[in-house]
Amino acid sequence: MKARLPQGYGSGGASNLQQLARQAQKMQAQMEAATEELEAKEYEATSGGGAVKVVVSGKMEVTSIEISQDVVDPEDVEMLSDLVMAAVNEALRAAQTDKEKTMESISGGMSGMGIPGLF
């Protein structure tokens, strides 16, 4: 008895593999370009109705913090700390969400599949 391969598997296997490799290289180049673009972006978030404004880079680094004089109260440093933390976390979330959406659009969902060495 002779084993049969599905249609298209018996011939051209090497060319299919080469095409897959080219597609993977193209996807990797797109992801590298997107990463560079994302790292150059800035994300801004505020808290306390604009009393604290934080800007982070796409590299997930805080680049600036602006604090309104209205919220600087030596008697309530804890509230100011909470406002700064809230704004920083929101800006970081915005940067991370943008990165995930961008990579998802390039990979078509493959990055979440856990294929070792792919992404």
Domain ranges of the chain: 42-106
Confidence (pLDDT) at 64: 95
Does 54 have pLDDT greater than 60? yes
Mean pLDDT over the full length of the chain: 85
Does 15 have pLDDT greater than 70? yes
Confidence (pLDDT) at 59: 93
Lowest mean pLDDT among 14-18, 48-52, 91-95, 113-117: 113-117
Give the Cα separation of 104 and 87 in Å (integer).
26
Question: Where residue 18 falls among pLDDT bands split at 50, 70, 90?
Answer: confident
Task: Note the pLDDT tens digit of each residue in 59-97.
Answer: 999 999 999 999 899 899 999 999 999 999 999 999 999
Provide the 3-class DSSP secondary structure of residue 51: coil
Contact 29, 37 (CB under 8 A): no
CATH topology of domain 42-106: Ybab; Chain: A; (3.30.1310)
Nearest by Cα to 29 from 106, 108, 101, 99: 106
In DSSP notation, 53-77 reads EEEEETTS-EEEEEE-GGG--TT-H
